[in-house]
A and B are shown apart, each in its own frame.
Chain A
Amino acid sequence: SAVISQKPSRDICQRGTSLTIQCQVDSQVTMMFWYRQQPGQSLTLIATANQGSEATYESGFVIDKFPISRPNLTFSTLTVSNMSPEDSSIYLCSVEASGRDETQYFGPGTRLLVL
């Protein structure tokens, strides 16, 4: 398994501002994923972030709104830009711990409230 931490754990932000969420893993991983979980809902994949390449975004999510960095094999950031109340969600990062195993492990999440 992998131990994943996220910062911040929660935040309250004003509309129009941006927030950068950090995800740190205790081991080197190839694949990292960012998910959004709206209140009381399931998980929706925002993008896949591989080290050394551009993130791959899912339908409905764009780089201008959710820029992602992946500078090394243990770290990634997701920025939520120009926030609106509709961006209030839990943002989760996950990792595929081994290239031979598709199991994904999740971080504790960042709880974002936009006013």
Chain B
Amino acid sequence: GENVEQHPSTLSVQEGDSAVIKCTYSDSASNYFPWYKQELGKGPQLIIDIRSNVGEKKDQRIAVTLNKTAKHFSLHITETQPEDSAVYFCAASSGTGNQFYFGTGTSLTVIP
């Protein structure tokens, strides 16, 4: 089955700096890669996703890049703010109806 690895497990950045979280996957059949943000006491919230026919996607301060050849994808957050502090999870899926395989999570702390 699919194996998703995520690094780093914890990340601290100064407010205004950028944060990068990286994930690798093992199954070449995976073609959908969402990122979720989970704040304390809440469920995961989808923040951005990318499909395998696209190399990069951006939404304001958040961007995701995908390298299918190397089987890795990354989340980039620019101009970080304290409200970006949360646990971030990457995931991989091989399509509609198929389960998501989640990374182990990255706890991001933005220091004011």
Residues of B within 8 A of A31 (CB): 97
CB <8 Å contact, B43 and A45: no
Q: Which of B44, B46, B97, B103 has a CB less than 8 Å from the CB of A92? A: B44
Number of interface residues of B (CB under 8 A): 22
Q: Which of A4, A42, A104 has a CB less than 8 Å from the CB of B34? A: A104
Known: A43-B89, A102-B93. 15 other contacts (CB 8 A): A43-B44, A43-B102, A45-B100, A48-B97, A48-B99, A99-B96, A100-B96, A102-B95, A102-B96, A103-B34, A103-B49, A105-B46, A106-B45, A106-B46, A108-B42
CB <8 Å contact, B49 and A42: no
Assess whether A11 is interfacial by the CB under 8 Å rule: no
Q: Which of A4, A45, A101, A102 has the most CB of B within 10 A?
A: A102
Instruction: List A residues at the B interface (Cβ < 8 Å).
Output: 1, 4, 31, 33, 41-45, 48, 58, 92, 96, 99-109, 111
Q: Which secondary structure dominates where chain A touches chain B? A: strand
Residues of B within 8 A of A111 (CB): 41
Assess whether B36 is interfacial by the CB under 8 Å rule: yes
CB <8 Å contact, B99 and A108: no
Which B residue sits closest to A107, measured CB to CB? B43
30 CB < 8 A contacts A-B: A1-B46, A4-B43, A31-B97, A33-B99, A41-B104, A41-B105, A42-B102, A42-B104, A42-B105, A43-B44, A43-B89, A43-B102, A44-B102, A48-B97, A48-B99, A92-B44, A96-B97, A99-B96, A102-B93, A102-B96, A103-B34, A103-B46, A104-B46, A104-B100, A106-B36, A106-B44, A106-B45, A106-B46, A108-B43, A109-B42
Residues of A within 8 A of B103 (CB): 42
Shortest Cβ gap from A58 to chain B (Å): 7
